[in-house]
Amino acid sequence: MTKNNNLSIIIYIVLIALISGGVIAGGIYYLTKNNELKLQINQREMELTQMKQKVALLPILREQSKTGIDEIKRLHRFAPSREEQAAFVLELERIARNCQVEIILCKMDDKVKKFKNMPSYNVYQWAVELSGDYSGIKKFLESILESKRFMMVSSLNINASEPDSESRKVYELNTVLILDLIAPVEAGKVNS
């Protein structure tokens, strides 16, 4: 019986060792999975917190968006349309041709200004550079002042260069001027 007894004890020890090993392996597996799940839960909680913060900002962003859209609509309403700007440039070119001067540069300033103490009028400033003789520049400035459009010369700078040939006895004038094109705010259009 001792041999049987010893064999039983050995089988018993082996079974306990196998069961203990299985329990330990299961415990390690459980702990590993538990840590992975805790990490995933923490990540999801952080994502949820970030999402809550974004959702909390949503009304503010919507309000800012509405304000931005309203500002864009306001600026669009008051700014001359592309067609009106093109018509103004064409009118300047026509005046320049009639006065025998050459337009070197014609560019609108992006900033809209108010007309003096009259908030119902906007001022669109145009930088214009011309080249021509004295009589042509003079005629151009007079034509601007007589134009159908409400515009004024707000800045004028004239530089002369000597004639390039003996046949010409007139100085060539390089003229830089700022034209204020004035338009009513209500219409948002530049009268042509």
Q: What pLDDT shows up at residue 192?
A: 43
pLDDT at residue 85, as a whole number: 72
Query: What's the average model confidence in pLDDT over 123-129?
Result: 87
Q: Report the chain's mean pLDDT, rounded to a whole number.
A: 80
Lowest mean pLDDT among 14-23, 55-64, 104-113, 163-172: 163-172
In sequence order, which residues have a C-beta less than 8 Å from that of residue 107 and are 6 or more positions away? 126, 127
Residue 110: pLDDT band (50, 70, 90) is: confident
Whether the predicted pLDDT of 188 surpasses 50: no
What is the chain written as a DSSP string?
A: -HHHHHHHHHHHHHHHHHHHHHHHHHHHHHHHHHHHHHHHHHHHHHHHHHHHHHHHHHHHHHHHHHHHHHHHHHHHHHSPPHHHHHHHHHHHHHHHHHHT-EEEEEEEEEEEEEETTEEEEEEEEEEEEEEE-HHHHHHHHHHHHHSSS-EEEEEEEEEEE--SSSS--SPEEEEEEEEEEEEETTT-S---
Interval 45-88: pLDDT, tens: 998 888 888 888 888 878 887 777 776 665 555 455 666 777 88
Edge-first strand order for the sheet with 118-132 is 102-115, 118-132, 172-184, 151-161
Please state the domain extents for the chain.
1-78, 82-184
Q: Read off the pLDDT of each residue in 19-33 and give the average, rounded to a whole number.
A: 84
* pLDDT computed for residue 139 by the predictor: 94
Which positions ≥6 away from 152 have C-beta within 8 Å? 145, 179, 180, 182
Predicted TM-score (pTM) of this structure = 0.51
Measured from the Cβ of residue 102, the count of other Cβ atoms closer than 10 Å reads 13
What mean pLDDT is predicted for residues 127-135?
A: 90
pLDDT class of 149 with cuts at 50, 70, 90: confident
Homologous superfamily (CATH) of 82-184 is: Ribosomal protein S6/Translation elongation factor EF1B (3.30.70.60)
Report pLDDT for 96. 92
